[in-house]
Amino acid sequence: MAQDLLALGDLTVTVREAGKEKTLLDNVSLKMAALGITALVGGSGSGKTTTGLAILRLLPPGLIIRQGRVLFLGEDLLGVSTERIRDIRGKDIAMIFQEPLHAFNPVFSIGYQIEEVLQVHSRLNLRQRRERVLELLDMVGLPDPKRTAGSYPHQLSGGMRQRAMIAQAMAGDPKLIIADEPTSNLDVTLQARIMELFRRLKDKFNLSILLITHDLGMVARMADQVAVMKEGKVVEEGATKQVLGNPRHEYTRALMAASGLSRE
């Protein structure tokens, strides 16, 4: 049997608030096969971002992983050393963040920030790294890589910045990209183009994508597998066709109705 790329088991995350312990993730279990797009979908506050951050041990201070496993190709990321998880971040698993704060640093050029990833995760020399940055920017469909590399984040349009973030995510040649609402700030046409780019990169580079979204329409168009989250729990999981074709959980039906996907 093929090994799962990623398997979360009973992942439980809590936070202490006003003297009380609040559960943000409640025994989240989820399996992801290699070479596909798996969507994590749910309403605001359901725990999607928390799940993505917990996988890479990037939870903000105060949030505690109480129990669980995060098996990446069989290795439990919750048990590995700090050096090992740092090595995995940005290399085996890259994350595209929802929070603009986590995205590009405003004071450095785009090219420099992509080159930094190569400096950490590759053996390329400076000249090779600079060449690779241009290749990466070209690969994600940015028309003038040299100019983009020299630009600062605020000088790019939202769509271009998103492409540059994908180029940065691709710099470590990852097996898995966790993309947290990668298109929610873009208009519909740009959304479609960015999703098309993800699909092309996935096929070309044997990537898998964990797509975090609240948009079931996008799930229907993009994802092979889907897990539906509500209040910190996975309430339904399976092949997208099966889950959306025959939703078993009331919450999935409600989400579908809200996205205009159901005929009810």
Binding residues (CB under 5 A) for Mg ion: these are 49, 98
- In angstroms, what is the minimal distance from the CB of 83 to ligand ATP? 26
Question: Which H or E run includes 249?
Answer: none
Give the Cα separation of 203 and 159 in Å (integer): 21
Q: What are phi and psi of 243, to 5 degrees?
A: -65, -45
Give the Cα separation of 62 and 13 in Å (integer): 10
- In angstroms, what is the minimal distance from the CB of 49 to ligand ATP? 3
* Token pair listed for 42: 């749910």
Name which of Mg ion, ligand ATP, none residue 24 binds, using a CB cut-off of 5 to 8 Å depending on partner kind: ligand ATP
- In angstroms, what is the minimal distance from the CB of 209 to ligand ATP? 17
Query: How would you class 81 by CB atoms within 10 Å of its CB: exposed for 0-12, middle for 13-18, buried for 19 or more?
Result: exposed
Cα-based torsion angle of the residue sequence 32, 33, 38, 43 in order, rounded to the nearest 10 degrees = -20
Residue 14 vs 151, nearer CB to ligand ATP = 14
Which residue lies nearest Mg ion, judged by its C-beta?
A: 49
Residue 50 vs 252, nearer CB to ligand ATP = 50
Task: Tell me which residues touch ligand ATP (CB under 6 A).
Answer: 15, 24, 42, 44-50, 60, 62-63, 98, 214
Residue 79 vs 158, nearer CB to Mg ion = 158
- In angstroms, what is the minimal distance from the CB of 127 to ligand ATP? 40
Query: How would you class 91 by CB atoms within 10 Å of its CB: exposed for 0-12, middle for 13-18, buried for 19 or more?
Result: middle
Residue with tokens 């979204």: 213
Give the Cα separation of 37 and 51 in Å (integer): 16
Residue 42 vs 172, nearer CB to ligand ATP = 42
Residue 208 vs 213, nearer CB to ligand ATP = 213
- In angstroms, what is the minimal distance from the CB of 75 to Mg ion? 26
